[in-house]
Amino acid sequence: MQQTKKKKILTAVVCLVLLIAALMALRNQQYILTLLNFVCMYMISVSGLDVLFGYSGQISLGHAAFYAAGAYTTALLTTKLGLSVWLTIPAACVVSLILGIVVALPASKLIHHFLALLTISVGQLVYIVLSRAEFTNAMAGVSRIPNISIFGFELDNNFRFLIFMIVMVALFLVIKQRIVNSRVGRAFLAIRENPVAAGGIGINVQKYKVMAFAISAVFTGFAGAMYAHFVGFISPETFNTSQSVMFMTMLLFGGMGNFAGPLIGAAVISVLNESLQVLGSYRMLVYGAFILVVLLFLPRGISGIIDIIRELLHRRKGANHADAA
């Protein structure tokens, strides 16, 4: 037991050293640093989507709505009211939480394609409101969104922001693991496997479905707020259906219901997305084909393949021990 703990600590230290070395090597690579910042935002958002879909079994194709809620809340409060980001970022999470609960109340009574249609509709509704409402500046968007400042230390370049984002990713991953390994997480899994049976053993199915939506919305809303402060400008075009599809693609590719899946998916698809920019609107066709291929041939995603390899190695190790005995 103590040996395993020491091994984990050693692994963590080695990973930290490698991470610091990699960051120092990339310090002047502005394009890569920008991409890595977006990857971190997507990791948080997709991890939230994993809580909803991967653990509680509720599909969402409208998660760009929560991303937009977080981004617009902090953007409008900082630019129009002049509030501190340390007030507006929590406010962004609260607004996303409320929106998540509002969506979850009817969504918790729906399943499969009906739920998918509802979430798509919510995403489109939010997009229409943002693109036409006067208080959001409609299609002109919101500009001059201030940088995040920590005790007077301004995150005014890609490198500083990336350090902050890595810390935030670690924080949200810890929160996620605490949730999914708790009684709440076990209730999510029971509902995912069989909602009727879960209700039969005393689990309040609707309550936990709403809770999963709320948690997922907060994760994504926070990521949206980070996007607003990193880019400094937002417009409705960023928060359309293709953004929701990209979140789902990342989750399906990486693998659902585990720690590594959303991280792998966010990293790989972000790079792929940059590579496909030349295709313009045809990028959506590639995403659609990609989801289809993953569902057909990699139902557990890339992380599922890793799990299978780990299981095979574990069995082989067990067989070798048995032969030696």
**In the chain, how many domains are there?**
2
Residue 257 lies in a domain: yes
- How is 221-282 classified by DSSP, letter by letter? HHHHHHHHHHHS-B-GGGGSHHHHHHHHHHHHHH-SSSSSHHHHHHHHHHHHHHHTGGGGGG
Residue 259 lies in a domain: yes
Pair 64, 130 in one domain: yes
Pair 233, 272 in one domain: no
Give the per-residue pLDDT at 62.
95
Pair 216, 262 in one domain: no
Digit-coded pLDDT (tens) for 148-173:
998 888 998 999 999 999 999 999 99
Q: Which of 194, 235, 250 is nearest to 56 (CA)?
A: 194
Give the per-residue pLDDT at 317.
66
Pair 319, 211 in one domain: no
Stronger pLDDT, 114 or 290, i.e. the higher one: 114
- How is 32-49 classified by DSSP, letter by letter? HHHHHHHHHHHHHHHHHH
Digit-coded pLDDT (tens) for 56-77:
999 999 999 999 999 999 999 9
Stronger pLDDT, 44 or 18, i.e. the higher one: 44
Pair 259, 217 in one domain: no
Residue 69 lies in a domain: yes
Digit-coded pLDDT (tens) for 190-242:
999 999 999 999 999 999 999 999 999 999 999 999 999 999 999 999 999 98
Pair 234, 245 in one domain: no
Pair 317, 284 in one domain: yes
Give the per-residue pLDDT at 5.
62
Give the residue numbers spanning the domain of 166: 52-238
Give the per-residue pLDDT at 27.
83
Report which DSSP code applies to 145.
P
Residue 24 lies in a domain: no
Of the residues 194, 221, 238, which one is the last residue of a structural domain? 238
Residue 182 lies in a domain: yes
Pair 67, 207 in one domain: yes
Paired tokens of 1: 């037991």
Residue 323 in this model has a pLDDT that exceeds 80: no
Pair 316, 205 in one domain: no
Pair 131, 185 in one domain: yes
Residue 264 lies in a domain: yes
Pair 78, 225 in one domain: yes
Of the residues 188, 209, 238, which one is the last residue of a structural domain? 238
Paired tokens of 261: 């899946």
Pair 176, 78 in one domain: yes
Averaged over 286-313, what is the pLDDT?
Answer: 78
Residue 279 lies in a domain: yes
pTM for the model: 0.91
Give the per-residue pLDDT at 15.
75
